[in-house]
Amino acid sequence: MYNKYIGHRSFNLEPRSRFGKRSINGGGQLNTSIQNYQPNTDLLKDRIIIITGAGQGLGRAAALSYAAHGATVVLLGRKVPKLEQVYDEVVAHGWPQPIIFPIDFSTATDANYEEMAQAIKQQFGRLDGILNNAAMFSSPTPLANQTLEHWTQLLRTNLTAPFALTKACLSLLQQSPDASIIMTSETHGHTPAAYWGVFSIAKAGLEFLTQIWAQELEMHPNLRINALIPGPVASPQRAASHPGELKSSLPKPEDLMPQYLYLMGKDSAGVSGQIIDCVSNRS
């Protein structure tokens, strides 16, 4: 048994009880039918996996799905009540006890990321995966109306944070016999569109970051990194960007979990540097 929170003191919180799809790393080939992927129930048994933005939407669905398949999930986000709801749901199912690490990616520093990595090292001794999923979004706005403060905040959350978190945890990931990093991208980061401004640019940068890191990690066949573009999905972010859209017409976050499980588990070994559009994988 271990503490529910790690690294909470720095946050004044008290604990309670567009690219080719050819693989870069190892010549592995992408399973083009991963929407129908059926993992073993113990796919992620004994793995330690960080999930950012774990309190809602795709992050919440991934946290529950990974825990259901045996992983100990480290829940990262800034909205503690939502993280605690996910924590309680995991515990209620009898899955491995999760950990909460509250963090605000729009203001986090190198010291915060290093503190988290050290806490994981001390508590678990290793790390087997990261799902960089947290996102900050604002309503589509012309570039001429976007402020420097707005740009800085969204870039820090949507691009800088995935880089900083992955960098801080890289040595832990390299020690794992089979580690995976997943970046959640976005349609407007792959295909630019008017009014999506800094959010689109940050997500485009995330795809470049994925492929650059995949090339730099070629000498580590035990570690892979890929990006998923979920496409339209019934999430809080989608509700904010398309307020008039019928939620019932969209896939649920849970519908995308085969893709997220495939890339996090051992069956995707050798697949790295890929930008995968979930829409094109839907039947």
Q: What mean pLDDT do residues 173-185 have?
A: 96
Q: Can you state the angle between helices 80-92 and 57-68, rounded to 10 degrees?
A: 30
pLDDT tier, 81 (very low <50, low <70, confident <90, very high otherwise): very high
More confident residue, 281 or 71: 71
Q: How confident is the model at residue 23 (pLDDT cuts 50, 70, 90)?
A: very low
C-alpha 48/C-alpha 240 separation (Å) is 32
Who's near 66: CB < 8 A, 6+ residues apart?
Answer: 44, 47, 49, 51, 73, 131, 260, 261, 264
Determine the pLDDT at residue 146: 87
Query: Which tens digit of pLDDT belongs to each residue from 205-215?
Result: 999 999 999 99
Instruction: Give percent of the chain with pLDDT exceeding 70.
Output: 80
**CB distance 31 to 61 below 8 Å:** no
The three state secondary structure string of 74-132 is EEEECCHHHHHHHHHHHHHCCCCCCEEEECCCCCCCHHHHHHHHHHHHHHHCCCCEEEE
Pick the closest to residue 223 from 181, 164, 263 (CA basis).
181
Average of pLDDT values for 13-29?
A: 34
Contact between 3 and 16 (Cβ < 8 Å): no
Confidence of residue 187 (pLDDT cuts 50, 70, 90): confident
pLDDT at 241: 53
Report residue 186's pLDDT band, with 50, 70 and 90 as the boundaries.
confident
Q: What fold does the segment set 19-281 form as a domain?
A: Rossmann fold (3.40.50)
pLDDT at 193: 84
d(CA 186, CA 274): 14
Average pLDDT over residues 204-228: 95
Q: Domain ranges for the chain, please list them.
A: 19-281
